[in-house]
Chains A and B, each alone.
Chain A
Amino acid sequence: MKAWKVCLPILAVSAACGREENAAVALTPRPAAYNVDKVQKTVEFHDTITTFVVETVAQKDVPLTLKAPAYVAARVQGYNNIARPIVVFDEAEKSNVLNHYLQKLSLLKLAEANAERVKDLYEHGAATGRDLIEAAAEVTQIQSDVASAEMELIEKNFNPADLKAPKVGTTWLLCDLPESELNTLHKGMTCRLEFPGYPGETFTGTIDAPAAVLNVQTRKVRVRIVVDDAAHRFRPGMYATASFDFGHTGLMVPRGALFTAGSKYYVFVQSEKNRFHAREITVSTDAGNYIEVHAGLKEGENIVVNHVYLLKGLVFGI
């Protein structure tokens, strides 16, 4: 009997362990959680525990800041013993150009006065027709010289009118900005100026005028900024960083809504509550947390702003 007491449990155990290995685990089949159409690039969820947040695309005004190097090109200062204010430039060459211009202005005045005098003499028979013509020609010649000098000043990014009668305390800075920003800049636009010589301080300048000519190499436009320097703090040649704050209005999407596939940008547009499709877009301005959409989206459309890479994996593959 003892042997049976040993054998029976063994047999029972053997019988008990039948067919437990490799049995297909009987999970209740769950319906497919989503349908994907890779051709249409759509995905429709029937069951998901992931929450996709959507945001409505709208025109937004986002602040942008453009920074550029600037330097003090000229400054108007007065001296007690000199009646006329002096314009001090950062380069001698510019001074020469101004002086040349002012000389030509003086000569023009003289020539015009002389021409008036000759005309009067001619009318009174004291001068010949030849004298009249010569006087007029001289005026024309000097006007041409004045125009040439003005052009030189303009090429140096200065306004001749401002330099004819400069106001003491006026300081001009010159700043190069990318041509792509031309449409955002305009005369009268203010900017913040920071000088290494005055750390922690910010000054306000105003765009006086953009240059007439674009630098073909650098593709930059030189703009002139005017700043009031009654306290005479700035010196020609000083470097500064000019920051232009402007709002940019456009169709903006959050950065997190964007993804790339191949060489294109996409977002996922919500067509129904749990149905999304990938749409190609083109982007333009990068505004920090937002990116401007140039084409591909309409205002009022809802786009997914989180977990876009999960959707990308479904639609485009991993």
Chain B
Amino acid sequence: MLGITDYALNQRFTTVLGALALAAAGYWAWTQLDIEAYPDISDNEVAVIAQAPGLPAEEVEMQVTLPIERALNTVPGVLAKRSRTIFGLSVVRLTFTDETNLFWARQIVNEKLADAELPAGVVPALGPMTPSIGEIFRYVIEAPDTLPLTKLRELQDYVVIPKILQAQGVVDVANFGGLVKQFQIIVDPVKLEKYELSLKGLADAVADNNRNTGGNFINVGASQINIRGVGRITNVNEIENIVIDNRDGIPLLIKDVATVEIGFLPPTGILGYVDKTRGVAVNRGVEGIVLLRKFDNPSRTVENVYQKIDELNKRILPKGVKVVPFYDRTELVDLTLKTVTTTLLEGMTVVMVVLTLLLGSWRAALISAMAIPFALLFAFLAMYIAGIPANLLSLGAIDFGIIVDATIVMVEAIVRAIHHGKGENLSSLIRSAGTGVRKQIFFSIVIIVLALLPILTLERVEGRLFAPMAWTLVFAIVGSLIYSLTMAPVLSTYLLGANTRESHHMFWRLTEAGYAWTLKTALRVWPLSTLLLTGGVGVLGYVFLPKGAEFLPELDEGCVWVRVFLPSGISLAEAEKYSELLRKETARFDEVRAVMTQLGRNDDGTDPFGPNRIEMLVQLVQPYSRWTVKRTKAEWVLVLKEHMQRLLPGVAFTLSQPIIDTTTENATGASSDVAVFINGGDIGELRRLAEEILEIARSVRGASETAIEQEQPQTQLAVRVRREAAARYGVNVADVCNVLETAVGGFAVSELYENERKFEIVLRFPPEYRGTPESIGKIIVLGQNGMRVPLARVADVQLEPGQTIIFHENGNRQMIVKSNIRGRDQSGFAEELDRAIAQNVVLPEGYEYYLGGQFENLRRAQRRLFIVVPATLLLIFATLMIFFNNNLKYSLVVFYNIPIAVVGGFFGLWVRNMNFSISAGVGMVSLLGLSVMAGVLLLAYFNQIKTGKDDLRSMVVEGAVVQFRPRFMVMSIAIIGLLPAALNTGVGSDVQRPLATVIVGGLCFVLVFGMIANPLFYYLAEKRGSKNGSPTTSKTIAAENEA
């Protein structure tokens, strides 16, 4: 590898051609790369959804959830198995290890589901293969007010969704809102009794009179004629004329006992929205949520969706009806792209300007600066080959200063060689300068790459977030290494002339003089200097040590996601009033441009919510600089929360953001910063424990939006069959169930097709006959022997408490106490909470608790880093030993830059008042390699020049001053290159900010303290090894040994 410089200089033209080819390939790779705002940080998951209409939560748990969980017990590769059970719905979610192939996992789950013994009519299905961040696009369908909601929903189901499903990358479109058309046979129970009919009889009559069939074919002459039996119902009139019975030759028809009307299925969810940009407010609308297929690119998919929408609006939908986008993930991509582009351009510009100033030669600066595009293009090519998508987080974390560092060292050495090598052959000067620094450059880059290894070992969310960033950096740095060892010397031969001189700018004269003086003083008073540089750094480390830690800084998605928990048992109609109120009140804020509320749940059952739940998406005016009241988003969120809490006391709110909310919930089971998971058997006992822990959690400083995840039990109307009484009247349990299902529940008895559109035909009693417990008790049940008995005679109809929602985790029932944290770090809060629970709560036998939520991610990442980082430090040290030919002293001298840099990183966080997060940890890890680079350069130079030098101190000062410039440039350019990322507050800058802050702080400390520490400790190490004050050389060591 090190001979590559010689080869490049020998084959300059080939080298330039090769570089151009690489660059061209890199550019092409860039055009092919998928760009994401955020990487897909969700785990591999498979969801099993089973609808059991009409069954209360306890029944669904027993008959559906538990059998499914049991059947899936033997699925391999499962990290966690969680389930949510509510009225009529079971959702079981399996989280798999990163190594598990998702397609294989879905196949296995599907196979195992066949073993689950489920009630008749309950058919489990796999949820769509979409990541947690898969809700990439939301639209609404708007139409004139004259168009009924059923019609809007019909267009959604049969026109819009099928069209959008054709878009590449879309795996599913979930509907929310609207009313599903039904053909309703409203049976008059008075007439039913009059004619002595039963509901079952009516249902059977409808089913029996609604059928088409085929009759094979007949041959007539030479023709074959197919036979069709056509008896399907096609309209209301035909339903009305269905014959139920025949009384003395007179047919009894449906219309004699019922009215047939076109109604709608009672909705389970209501969508409303306000769009201030268009001046639109809709209280009941229809929404489509477009789900991205896992592994597909969001931006490309959204583009495809827009094409389909365009087609729908222009050519397919009726006049006046249009599909209007409401939420578009690419807005976040664009915002983040803008932030990252700004950061990158600013970084690049500043680096180039400073280079020019520091190097004193625009040609030298140009050679150095060209490392940036080359390294980037090289990185793009490598990412394309490795299949790593370009996410904006990883691009935003690129420090151009680091990229040019290797080239700066090379170019600076070349310029110095030319400056001091007057009269000598230019090419020779360049070659010798290049070969003189190539080893240092190579090893420095190797150390930087090694230091990034821990990031590649991170798991799950943090691994997916930072591994692409680490790979991007590694590729870019390798690209910069190749450039520095090949193109930099080659271009120097073309662009630098024999009259190239080092800069003698006043800046350098002053700084070098100042440095020389400081170093001399430090060497003279070396005990004090040593104490300051060791003990002082230690004290500073203690002072600036971060007091708290959090998983990630809040990633700004440009919007707010509010989960609203109304008291359990509230009706949809009553909850709708609050949904509307929340929309109106939120829209009053100038910072808001649009609000959407989803009350209840969608139709496909992927959200197991009841009518007491509202999810609200609040879209904010961008950029934040346009806000009239100058405050940060975090401040505004608190104002919003307080306003909502005053507006609706007795209601719980959780404020978050859509992507991180869903991802954290799916990964850890709760969407909050911290959650206490309590596992056990009895729900009542679990709730008691949860309430106890809730009070404790509320008392911990920083607790915000603290609540129990599961709502209180809600009231149910239980119709419990009295078997003896029922037997007396010849009534079976099935008879009671049939009555409840049809007369009260309104279940479908048949279906009606209007062309390709299918609608249910249902039987129901009018509301006044089924709207109260008393009226339900009066419903007549027909016994086996023709006896007609009121329901209350054979069953107890009474109110009972029942569970609203039941959680399971790995087969155990679970209750969760969740809390967000405001104004302090996650780690500190979690530790305090954990201690308080351990001290105050006594858990019964068989019950346990643990802390999770986002905090779980932090703990996992910390555990991993605690193992990997020391291992990496060992690796770095080993590399230094190899570089310094097993010289322990030199390795330790250089290694000491690491603690200096770490303390500097802490200082940076302290100045910015940031908590230590995994993002900051990744920055710290990136810093390790950078910090030793300066030391490597210095000591390598010392070892080059020390032969023949008598005075150690003079040699050290002289060498340090000579190396001041390249070391200063390396670190200052790295600092300046990251300043834009450290200072940016735009959307998408949240992850880079602490990362850049740590690196900037660390390098600043290395720049200040390391500049003195390296030569000082080298001096002390050599002084100890030397008897007469001269530098120790290999000859001296050999002579001493001989003596």
**Are B799 and A264 in contact, with the CB atoms below 8 A?**
yes
Q: How far is the CB of B386 from chain A (nearest CB, A)?
A: 34
- The answer to whether the Cβ of B199 comes within 8 Å of any Cβ in the partner chain is no
**Are A21 and B912 in contact, with the CB atoms below 8 A?**
yes
**Are B789 and A217 in contact, with the CB atoms below 8 A?**
yes
- The answer to whether the Cβ of B715 comes within 8 Å of any Cβ in the partner chain is yes
Q: How far is the CB of A4 from chain B (nearest CB, A)?
A: 7
Provide the residues of chain A in CB contact with B190, threshold 8 Å.
67-69, 241
- The answer to whether the Cβ of B389 comes within 8 Å of any Cβ in the partner chain is no
**Are A3 and B357 in contact, with the CB atoms below 8 A?**
yes
Q: Which residue of A lies closest to B780 (CB)?
A: A218
- The answer to whether the Cβ of A81 comes within 8 Å of any Cβ in the partner chain is no
**Are B715 and A20 in contact, with the CB atoms below 8 A?**
no
Contact with A along B545-571 (1 / 0, CB 8 A): 000000001000000000001111110
- The answer to whether the Cβ of A184 comes within 8 Å of any Cβ in the partner chain is no
- The answer to whether the Cβ of A19 comes within 8 Å of any Cβ in the partner chain is yes
**Are A310 and B569 in contact, with the CB atoms below 8 A?**
no
**Are A316 and B567 in contact, with the CB atoms below 8 A?**
yes
Q: Take A25-B823, A312-B650, A318-B566 as given contacts and tell me if A219 and B790 are in contact as well, using a CB distance cutoff of 8 Å.
A: yes
**Are A6 and B790 in contact, with the CB atoms below 8 A?**
no
B759-793 contacts to A (CB < 8 Å): 771-772, 774-775, 778, 780, 787-790, 793
- A contact residues, range: 35 or more
Q: Take A30-B642, A261-B569, A263-B801 as given contacts and tell me if A218 and B790 are in contact as well, using a CB distance cutoff of 8 Å.
A: yes
Contact with B along A276-318 (1 / 0, CB 8 A): 0000000000100000000000000000000001111111111
Secondary structure dominating the interface of B: mixed
- The answer to whether the Cβ of A27 comes within 8 Å of any Cβ in the partner chain is yes
Q: Which residue of A lies closest to B190 (CB)?
A: A69
- The answer to whether the Cβ of A18 comes within 8 Å of any Cβ in the partner chain is yes
Provide the bound-state CA to CA distance between A79 and B711, in Å: 74
Secondary structure dominating the interface of A: mixed
Provide the residues of chain A in CB contact with B983, threshold 8 Å.
13-14, 17
**Are A286 and B772 in contact, with the CB atoms below 8 A?**
yes
**Are B507 and A3 in contact, with the CB atoms below 8 A?**
yes
- The answer to whether the Cβ of B635 comes within 8 Å of any Cβ in the partner chain is yes
Provide the bound-state CA to CA distance between A308 and B469, in Å: 52
**Are B778 and A178 in contact, with the CB atoms below 8 A?**
yes
Q: Take A10-B979, A25-B635, A217-B788 as given contacts and tell me if A3 and B358 are in contact as well, using a CB distance cutoff of 8 Å.
A: yes
Provide the residues of chain A in CB contact with B793, threshold 8 Å.
217, 219
Provide the residues of chain B in CB contact with A310, threshold 8 Å.
567, 648-651
**Are B642 and A27 in contact, with the CB atoms below 8 A?**
yes
Provide the bound-state CA to CA distance between A314 and B553, in Å: 33
- The answer to whether the Cβ of A259 comes within 8 Å of any Cβ in the partner chain is yes
Provide the residues of chain A in CB contact with B1000, threshold 8 Å.
14
Q: Take A241-B190, A263-B800, A314-B649 as given contacts and tell me if A218 and B788 are in contact as well, using a CB distance cutoff of 8 Å.
A: yes
Provide the residues of chain A in CB contact with B353, threshold 8 Å.
6
Q: Which residue of A lies closest to B997 (CB)?
A: A21
Q: Take A3-B358, A19-B911, A310-B648 as given contacts and tell me if A318 and B565 are in contact as well, using a CB distance cutoff of 8 Å.
A: yes
**Are B649 and A260 in contact, with the CB atoms below 8 A?**
no
Provide the bound-state CA to CA distance between A262 and B718, in Å: 12
A1-26 contacts to B (CB < 8 Å): 1-4, 6, 10, 13-14, 17-25
Provide the residues of chain A in CB contact with B553, threshold 8 Å.
21
B960-984 contacts to A (CB < 8 Å): 976, 979, 982-983
**Are B650 and A309 in contact, with the CB atoms below 8 A?**
yes
- The answer to whether the Cβ of B299 comes within 8 Å of any Cβ in the partner chain is no
Q: How far is the CB of B397 from chain A (nearest CB, A)?
A: 18
Provide the residues of chain A in CB contact with B277, threshold 8 Å.
none
**Are A19 and B647 in contact, with the CB atoms below 8 A?**
no
- The answer to whether the Cβ of A61 comes within 8 Å of any Cβ in the partner chain is no
Pick from B651, B778, B788, B915: contact of A313, CB below 8 A: B651
Q: Which residue of B lies closest to A317 (CB)?
A: B712
Provide the residues of chain A in CB contact with B771, threshold 8 Å.
286
- The answer to whether the Cβ of B315 comes within 8 Å of any Cβ in the partner chain is no
Q: Which of A42-50, A87-95, A99-107, A136-144 is near enough to bind chain B? A: A42-50
Contact with A along B1004-1019 (1 / 0, CB 8 A): 0000000000000000
Could you jot down 28 A-B contacts, CB within 8 Å?
Answer: A1-B506, A3-B358, A10-B350, A17-B983, A18-B913, A19-B912, A19-B913, A21-B912, A22-B823, A22-B914, A24-B824, A33-B645, A34-B649, A49-B647, A71-B194, A178-B790, A239-B191, A259-B569, A260-B569, A260-B715, A260-B799, A309-B566, A310-B649, A313-B650, A314-B650, A315-B650, A317-B567, A318-B651
Closest 3 CB pairs of A and B: A313-B650, A24-B823, A260-B715
**Known A18-B912, A219-B793, A286-B775; further 4 A-B contacts with Cβ < 8 A:** A25-B634, A218-B790, A262-B801, A309-B566
**Chain B residues packing against A (C-beta within 8 Å):** 190-191, 193-194, 256, 350, 353-354, 357-358, 505-507, 553, 565-570, 574, 612, 634-635, 638-639, 642, 645-652, 691, 707-708, 711-715, 729, 771-772, 774-775, 778, 780, 787-790, 793, 798-801, 822-824, 911-915, 976, 979, 982-983, 993, 1000
**Chain A residues packing against B (C-beta within 8 Å):** 1-4, 6, 10, 13-14, 17-25, 27, 30, 33-34, 45, 47-50, 67-69, 71, 176, 178, 196, 217-219, 239, 241, 259-265, 286, 309-318
